[in-house]
A and B are shown apart, each in its own frame.
Chain A
């Protein structure tokens, strides 16, 4: 669960969260307010670590390995190399193998998942679309990963070489997934989970756990909602319990229903290839909002 201070951390812990994410601004507010979103203040992270007994995570910008070094020095339990912060490197992700703290990274499909695992990610999560309260992207990403794994299962070796090339992932990892029928690391649901039913939906789609961000502290009764979502994740296959926990929670966060039309796009932020020709590429022609808000970058790549 995403928390911004000690008080919220205690609420999350008391609700049964297995870990919390220390953030300076809740994702829905990062969406709304824009500006450069960065790593949190270590003092705030230490205070939260001091107040709770469950693991504390923190986010570093994509490619910002020094933020990750600082977070490791804070002894956070996990680092989220996160697309919701402004990208610090448009090409390279952090070399996560050079850290002893485990990383979690977002993915939209199997190829992206395996690219992150190749870089040393110890855990994955769907990217979803954070801060929207709309689970549709998380569902899309969860299904894409699951479908990708299933389709590898039926492939012969020559097809796997091509599959690895097409999904831009190392062949060895692709082969391992094809053989084992599952990802080599755990995969959580994240990005838009707002209700107990959303959480159980993601679990039934095969996720190993759920990250809830804005969904809790943007709702009318955070404590009750947090408890309900925790129970929904444990009893995700028991509709009677799900009915019980979904009852009387008050209004969920309002959220954003038109994700395609929303000016902010966290999910498509990923380091990638581009050709640097010695000058800043021309700005893309986008009206109304800056490209940084739309793509996390004003550089086309």
Chain B
């Protein structure tokens, strides 16, 4: 076994030194229109020294990669920035869903781009028609948990075992042997462990429903934020009216009083309908945020979801009675989606899982 040091420090983050002067085993692209693409690159390159990542900004760059990560960020901005590059969305749709599809992983905003149905999307995206990629038959509620102050970290179910025979390292070695490379692989991939995964949710979307052919990999229970609850109420209204909902834009969630005061509308789902009688002191501005206070606590107790089941209790949530189980990780074929941000969790298991998907797909494609 010949060990060549090519002397490149691949990633200052982990000081992994690339061993071997051959081409990488796999190349993974990270969509770099906006958002946490550098963090994903660092995480992927930490999984193994034989993974090379590149930033994807144009359709041509998709040709050379074995899989792609659509990172977290602002889905509105990504949609619009992508629109400005001719042919990008078409090329990505072909990459994700075409005959020669390759593994795709959407985190947070990336999940929104991949979802077939999305509610709470920006009005400007709605006006621009189709700019989402699609491919994952789920209904996503954008920004379900609320604004930045409602960001949270919680344990989520661990990712499944990487989808390949034997270890990731074994797969890497096999792929190298197949190509006749005679080099060692240094990687950090570890034995599978099933400890809960620290999920970091930042203005995160939630998956409300998934079609039967989608494999659900994780769930959490949480109440939607007030803006999301207004969107969900609109969604429920449309579903009741028999509409096949693909998209719902932002919904006005404010109540304006004559004196110039503004407050959040009382949004209660699932036949709540009870009026929030308190807190009406004639339009004072200071009333703005009283609605989330503990005032109505007693009458909310009898609501649909018992308190013990609520995993996440966030500031800015609409109402405990709106709490519901939502999905935070799914897979369908070669598409993987997570609502949280594994790239900043300091835990590489989801990245290892995706690398496994890429290796598996690469082996299948080369057969």
Q: A13-B76, A18-B73, A42-B285 are in contact. Are A53 and B261 (CB under 8 A)?
A: no
Complex Cα distance, B319 from A281, in Å, reads 53
Which of chain A's residues have a CB closer than 8 A to the CB of B57?
Answer: 234-235
B96 within 8 A of A: no
Nearest-neighbor residue (CB-CB) of B142 within chain A: A53
B interface, size bucket: 35 or more
Nearest-neighbor residue (CB-CB) of A244 within chain B: B84
B41 within 8 A of A: no
> Cβ of B76 and Cβ of A231 under 8 Å apart?
no
Which of chain B's residues have a CB closer than 8 A to the CB of A47?
Answer: 254, 262
Which of chain A's residues have a CB closer than 8 A to the CB of B84?
Answer: 16, 227, 230-231
CB distance from A6 to the nearest CB of B (A): 11
Which of chain B's residues have a CB closer than 8 A to the CB of A35?
Answer: none
Residue A50 contacts which of B76, B77, B143, B227 (CB distance < 8 angstroms)?
B227
Which of chain A's residues have a CB closer than 8 A to the CB of B260?
Answer: 43
Interface residues of A in 43-66 (CB under 8 A from B): 43, 46-47, 49-56
> Cβ of A74 and Cβ of B148 under 8 Å apart?
no
Number of A-B contacts (CB under 8 A): 101
Contact with A along B74-99 (1 / 0, CB 8 A): 10110011001000000000000000
A102 within 8 A of B: yes
B203 within 8 A of A: yes
CB distance from A147 to the nearest CB of B (A): 19
Residue B253 contacts which of A50, A100, A102 (CB distance < 8 angstroms)?
A50
Which of chain B's residues have a CB closer than 8 A to the CB of A74?
Answer: 288-289
A22 within 8 A of B: no
> Cβ of B289 and Cβ of A18 under 8 Å apart?
no
Which of chain B's residues have a CB closer than 8 A to the CB of A205?
Answer: none
CB distance from A43 to the nearest CB of B (A): 5
CB distance from A298 to the nearest CB of B (A): 31
Complex Cα distance, B74 from A234, in Å, reads 13
B146 within 8 A of A: yes
Which of chain A's residues have a CB closer than 8 A to the CB of B6?
Answer: none
Of B46-54, B119-127, B351-359, which stretch is located at the interface? B119-127
> Cβ of A54 and Cβ of B77 under 8 Å apart?
yes
B252 within 8 A of A: yes
> Cβ of A75 and Cβ of B142 under 8 Å apart?
no
CB distance from A144 to the nearest CB of B (A): 22
Which of chain A's residues have a CB closer than 8 A to the CB of B262?
Answer: 42-43, 46-47
Most buried by A among B81, B121, B127, B285: B81
CB distance from B74 to the nearest CB of A (A): 4
B167 within 8 A of A: no
> Cβ of B148 and Cβ of A102 under 8 Å apart?
yes
> Cβ of B123 and Cβ of A10 under 8 Å apart?
yes
Q: A16-B77, A43-B260 are in contact. Are A55 and B250 (CB under 8 A)?
A: no
Contact with A along B196-240 (1 / 0, CB 8 A): 000000010000000000000000000000010000000000000
Chain A interfacial residues counted at CB < 8 A = 37
> Cβ of B77 and Cβ of A53 under 8 Å apart?
no
> Cβ of B254 and Cβ of A13 under 8 Å apart?
no
Contact with A along B160-188 (1 / 0, CB 8 A): 00000000000000000000000000000
> Cβ of B148 and Cβ of A78 under 8 Å apart?
yes
Residue A18 contacts which of B34, B124, B148, B253 (CB distance < 8 angstroms)?
B34
CB distance from A292 to the nearest CB of B (A): 28
Residue B252 contacts which of A17, A50, A55 (CB distance < 8 angstroms)?
A50
Which of chain A's residues have a CB closer than 8 A to the CB of B143?
Answer: 53
Interface residues of A in 104-129 (CB under 8 A from B): none
Nearest-neighbor residue (CB-CB) of A17 within chain B: B77
Complex Cα distance, B264 from A43, in Å, reads 11
A250 within 8 A of B: no
CB distance from B330 to the nearest CB of A (A): 22
Q: A10-B123, A14-B124, A52-B122 are in contact. Are A75 and B253 (CB under 8 A)?
A: no
A249 within 8 A of B: no
> Cβ of A54 and Cβ of B76 under 8 Å apart?
yes
Q: A16-B81, A42-B285 are in contact. Are A75 and B122 (CB under 8 A)?
A: no
Complex Cα distance, B149 from A53, in Å, reads 15
Residue A55 contacts which of B120, B203, B288, B316 (CB distance < 8 angstroms)?
B203
Which of chain A's residues have a CB closer than 8 A to the CB of B148?
Answer: 55, 75-78, 101-102
B315 within 8 A of A: yes
Q: A14-B80, A16-B80, A77-B203 are in contact. Are A46 and B124 (CB under 8 A)?
A: no
Nearest-neighbor residue (CB-CB) of B121 within chain A: A53
CB distance from B34 to the nearest CB of A (A): 6
Complex Cα distance, B33 from A178, in Å, reads 30
Complex Cα distance, B149 from A76, in Å, reads 8
Not counting A43-B261, A78-B148, a sample of 10 additional A-B residue pairs whose C-beta atoms are within 8 angstroms of each other reads A14-B80, A16-B76, A17-B77, A42-B262, A42-B288, A46-B288, A53-B142, A74-B288, A75-B146, A234-B33
18 contacts between A and B (CB under 8 A): A13-B76, A16-B76, A17-B77, A42-B262, A43-B260, A46-B254, A46-B264, A46-B288, A50-B250, A52-B122, A54-B74, A55-B148, A73-B289, A75-B146, A75-B150, A77-B148, A230-B77, A234-B33
